[in-house]
């Protein structure tokens, strides 16, 4: 299958691994953050870490859209379903993200558990499905809980524009779309990276799908101003390994540039049509809370005043309230690269994909879920016979 099988060739992987072993300087350590959860999943699924030299470390970043959705946003959606009688539509993994406990405390709610309590909460495969739900239920308010990075933002913009064209009275969007460059900037400014050096970062693997939309140009400031090389990579294992090799070469040569390994899909300018529809419908939000990162300035989008009748926050008079994560859950530290999944006391025991305590265990792109599915058995020491 073109663009899949040839990027999973084990013999080529061994050759790239040999080049990495030859070119990685044994006298220094390398630390690269794969920002995107899709890369985290690929690294765990295909055992990429085992093919890297021991002095090349991959650091998980906050690029899983389900993982960074804060509890307070899930609470708003649950409120709309249980207390305002709205039909709430969203993507599948979002249904399982833990939220606040229900009335009287006890077990944390989620959209799935709220559905079991009678809320009309529906899984959809696209924003267009949510729009169709509004058409077929004209007597009900339908709210689309829209999450994701720049990849899923254009479809949300399109359905808002279509709702305006049809003058739909019962459709709105609870917008939780976030922006990749702002999150990378926040990571670079974090005390763990800038001051304490507890999270050493020599460069980034840039996301694939996001970069198809926004292009490679938005990352150039990180190379120029922060001296951090960025290599945009596809999601296949050979893509990731080649990107790591390109980063190692930049570090060895003292360069800090934006390079594009994913040339088969990414250009410098990105998708102009997608960018245009997003700019038409959305504008930057002054501040937005990310799970694990806290409030991040200019890191999310909100619906423009011209389309505010489709903004669920304004339509229902919603007020956002931040909610702290479970005290023992290490999702926040994992999303910042401070900890690994196995550093969390709950990992693999109390917290599993079947009963997640934190968001990193919910989506397959989450670091904890990826390591639980593909990596946890590698942590068991081998005992000689």
pLDDT tens-digit series, residues 226-262: 999 999 999 999 999 999 999 999 999 999 999 999 9
Pull the structure tokens for residue 280.
């038409």
pLDDT in tens, 295-325: 999 999 999 999 999 999 999 999 999 998 8
The confidence score (pLDDT) of residue 378 equals 67
Distance (Å, whole) CA 287 – CA 322:
13
109 phi and psi, to 5 degrees?
-80, 170
Strands 121-123 and 142-148: unpaired
Query: Strands, E, within the chain: which ranges?
Result: 30-36, 56-63, 87-90, 121-123, 142-148, 171-177, 203-206, 230-232, 258-260, 282-290, 294-303
* pLDDT recorded at residue 70: 93
pTM of the model: 0.93
Instruction: Look at residue 385 and tell me whether its pLDDT is greater than 70.
Output: no
Instruction: Name the segment(s) of the chain with CATH classification 3.40.50.11740.
Output: 71-179+270-315
Specify the pLDDT at position 196: 80
DSSP assignment string, 85-97:
--EEEE-GGGGGS
Calculate the alpha carbon distances from 127 to 95, 313, 334 in Å.
15, 18, 29
Q: Which of 34-48, 108-122, 363-377 has the lowest mean pLDDT?
A: 363-377
- The whole-number pLDDT of residue 157 equals 98
DSSP structure string for 97-144: S---B-TTS-SBP-HHHHHHTT--EEE-SSHHHHHHHHHH-TTS-EEE
pLDDT 10s digits, 15-39: 999 999 999 999 999 999 999 999 9
- Comma-separated ranges of CATH 3.40.50.11750 domains in the chain: 5-62+181-260
Query: In the predicted model, is pLDDT for residue 192 greater than 70?
Result: yes
Radius of gyration of the chain (CA): 21
Separation CA 34–CA 204 (nearest Å): 6
- What is the residue-averaged pLDDT of the chain? 93
Written out in words, the top-level CATH class of the domain with range 5-62+181-260 is alpha beta
Q: Which CATH number does 71-179+270-315 carry?
A: 3.40.50.11740
Alpha-carbon separation of residue 40 from 233, 344, 373 (angstroms): 12, 17, 12
- State the pLDDT at residue 173: 98
């Amino acid at each position: 299958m073109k663009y899949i099988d040839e990027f999973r060739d084990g013999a080529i992987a061994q050759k790239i691994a040999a080049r990495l072993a030859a070119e990685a300087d044994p006298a220094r350590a390398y630390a690269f953050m794969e920002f995107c959860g899709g890369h985290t999943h690929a690294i765990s699924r295909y055992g990429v870490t085992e093919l890297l030299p021991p002095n090349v470390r991959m650091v998980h970043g906050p690029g899983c859209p389900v993982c960074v959705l804060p509890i307070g946003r899930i609470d708003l959606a649950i409120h709309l379903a249980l207390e305002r009688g709205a039909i709430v539509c969203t993507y599948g993994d979002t249904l399982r993200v833990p939220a606040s406990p229900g009335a009287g405390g006890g077990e944390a709610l989620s959209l799935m558990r709220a559905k079991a309590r009678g809320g009309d909460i529906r899984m959809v495969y696209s924003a267009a499905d949510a729009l169709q739900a509004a058409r077929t239920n004209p007597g009900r308010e339908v709210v689309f809980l829209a999450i994701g990075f720049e990849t899923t933002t254009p479809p949300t913009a399109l359905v808002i524009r279509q709702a305006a064209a049809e003058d739909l009275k019962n459709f709105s969007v609870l917008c939780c779309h976030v922006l990749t460059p702002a999150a990378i900037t926040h990571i670079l400014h974090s005390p763990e990276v800038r001051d304490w050096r507890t999270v050493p970062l020599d460069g980034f693997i840039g996301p694939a799908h996001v970069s198809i939309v926004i292009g490679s140009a938005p990352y150039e400031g990180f190379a120029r101003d922060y001296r951090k090389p960025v290599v945009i990579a596809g999601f296949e294992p050979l893509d990731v390994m080649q990107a790591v090799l390109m980063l190692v070469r930049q570090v060895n040569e003292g360069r800090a540039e934006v390079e594009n390994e994913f040339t088969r899909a990414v250009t410098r300018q990105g998708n102009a049509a997608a960018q245009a529809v997003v700019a038409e419908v959305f504008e930057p939000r002054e501040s937005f809370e990310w799970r694990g990162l806290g409030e991040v300035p200019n890191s999310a989008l909100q619906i423009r005043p011209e389309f505010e009748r489709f903004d669920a926050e304004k339509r229902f008079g919603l007020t956002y309230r931040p909610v702290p994560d479970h005290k023992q859950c290490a999702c926040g530290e994992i999303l910042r690269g401070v900890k690994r999944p196995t550093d969390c006391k709950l990992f693999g025991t109390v917290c599993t994909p079947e009963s997640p305590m934190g968001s990193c265990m919910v989506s397959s792109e989450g670091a904890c879920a990826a390591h639980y599915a593909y990596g946890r058995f590698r942590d068991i020491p081998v005992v000689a016979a």
